[in-house]
Amino acid sequence: MKDQSHEALTAKDYLSDVHPIWCPGCGHFFILRALAKALAWLRIPNEQIAVVSGIGCSSRIPAYLNTYGFHGLHGRALPLAAGLKTSRPDMHVIVAGGDGDGYSIGGNHFLHACRRNMDMTYIVMDNEVYGMTKGQPSPTTEPDWEAKLAPHGTGIRTFNPLGIALASGASFIARGFAGDQNGLTKLIVDAIEHKGFSLVEVKSPCVTFRPEEKEWQKTMRRMNIEPTADVIEAAQRIHGSDGLDTGIFYRAEHAVYQPGTSEEKSMADLEKEFEV
Ligand code: SF4
Ligand code: MG
């Protein structure tokens, strides 16, 4: 970790020396940049941040940041982050990953992370495809998307992350777009500042397996409305959206879950407790 004893912080201070191996033009580059800018804006000390991920192209992100990081198992980033937050409530915990990792393999954890409402931010880099494993349909892929690995489409309706987050009890629900750098940076700032579980679902084009997603640059749009704390209104906004609106759909104060950590136990104590 670089020395951070200087005063003025920029996005660069939060980027590591590791060069991303994402395909040129991949949306994830812009999310990485927006996250680094958000951290600089908030002036959070590097050593107070932990970025936890699962598996997939997007889940490589901890390596590219000059913070603590953990590249975990497929779909398991959220429980890993919950464990980290339990033992280190002082840390800013940011979880990042893709649509396949978070909504399919990790779908169950997603529901309970929303419900539990621990104070952490979950950034889902959603490109509606499994990119790293070469283009299989993911939970957010539309049913009629025809690809080499899905010649007639899946015929299965898409997963609605925002609606499911709302139904499961998340207290901050937003959608961003990788191509809207300022808008996305602001959303991430708001999400990190929010007390509780904040979901930022970010549309991020996979230029290799879904080149048509480059069109999002023309079609994604900002919602110019204030966030609501009313569940019914939020549900109407989420279900009334064609999926191209960005902004905060719901923000409310829910009780934040933080298990007590008062009882310090040594490894020897724990081993004894679990002895059979
Ligand atoms: Fe990005 Fe797709 Fe390339 Fe993965 S395969 S790095 S998601 S463009
Ligand atoms: Mg994906």
- CA atoms of 163 and 193, how far apart (whole Å): 22
Cα-based distances in Å from 219 to 33, 246, 263: 22, 11, 52
- CA atoms of 166 and 38, how far apart (whole Å): 24
pLDDT tens-digit series, residues 36-81: 999 999 999 999 999 999 999 999 999 999 999 999 999 999 999 9
In this structure, the residue with its CA closest to atom 6 of ligand 1 is 22
- CA atoms of 236 and 49, how far apart (whole Å): 35
Pick the range with the lowest mean pLDDT from 8-12, 25-29, 57-61, 230-234: 8-12
Closest approach atom of ligand 1 to CA 209: 2
Residues in contact with ligand 1 by the CB-under-6-Å rule are 22-23, 26, 28, 57, 127, 131-132, 206-209
Query: Could you tell me how far CA 156 lies from the centroid of its own chain?
Result: 24
In a domain, 147, yes or no: yes
Kindly state the tokens that stand for 251: 């923000």
pLDDT tens-digit series, residues 120-139: 999 999 999 999 999 999 99
Domain that holds residue 64: 11-273
In this structure, the residue with its CA closest to atom 5 of ligand 1 is 131
Kindly state the tokens that stand for 233: 């209104």
- CA atoms of 238 and 222, how far apart (whole Å): 14
Is the per-residue pLDDT at 243 higher than 80? Answer: yes
In a domain, 248, yes or no: yes
DSSP code, position 140: T
Cβ burial, residue 71 (10 Å; 0-12/13-18/19+): middle
**CA 23 – ligand 1 centroid, Å:** 5
Question: Mean pLDDT in the chain?
Answer: 95
Tokens 């915990």 -> residue: 93
**CA 53 – ligand 1 centroid, Å:** 16
Closest approach atom of ligand 1 to CA 98: 7
In this structure, the residue with its CA closest to atom 2 of ligand 1 is 206
Cβ burial, residue 152 (10 Å; 0-12/13-18/19+): exposed
Ligand that lies nearest to the alpha carbon of residue 178, given by its number in the listed order: 1
Amino acid at 128: E
CA atoms within 13 Å, Cβ hemisphere of 106: 31
Element (H, E) at 70: strand 68-71
Q: Among 22, 53, 136, 210, which residue has the most ligand 1 atoms within 8 Å of its CB, making it the best to mutate?
A: 22
- Bridge partners for 92 per DSSP: 49
pLDDT at 149: 87
Count of structural domains within the chain: 1
Top-confidence residue, 264 or 160: 160
CATH of the domain at 160: 3.40.50.970
Length of the chain as a residue count: 276
Tokens 């279900």 -> residue: 239
- 92-98: strand order across its sheet: 68-71, 49-53, 92-98, 120-126, 197-203, 172-177, 245-251, 221-222
Ligand that lies nearest to the alpha carbon of residue 128, given by its number in the listed order: 2
Q: pLDDT tier at 199 (50, 70, 90 boundaries)?
A: very high
pLDDT tens-digit series, residues 219-242: 999 998 999 999 999 999 999 999
pLDDT at 114: 98
Is the per-residue pLDDT at 148 higher than 90? Answer: no
**CA 43 – ligand 2 centroid, Å:** 30
In a domain, 1, yes or no: no
**CA 26 – ligand 2 centroid, Å:** 11
In a domain, 2, yes or no: no
In a domain, 220, yes or no: yes
- CA atoms of 234 and 239, how far apart (whole Å): 8
Q: Under 8 Å CB-to-CB from 199, ≥6 apart: which residues?
A: 114, 122, 124, 161, 162, 165, 170, 172, 173, 174, 191
In a domain, 5, yes or no: no
Helices (H) and strands (E) in the chain, counts: 9, 8
Kindly state the tokens that stand for 151: 């010649």
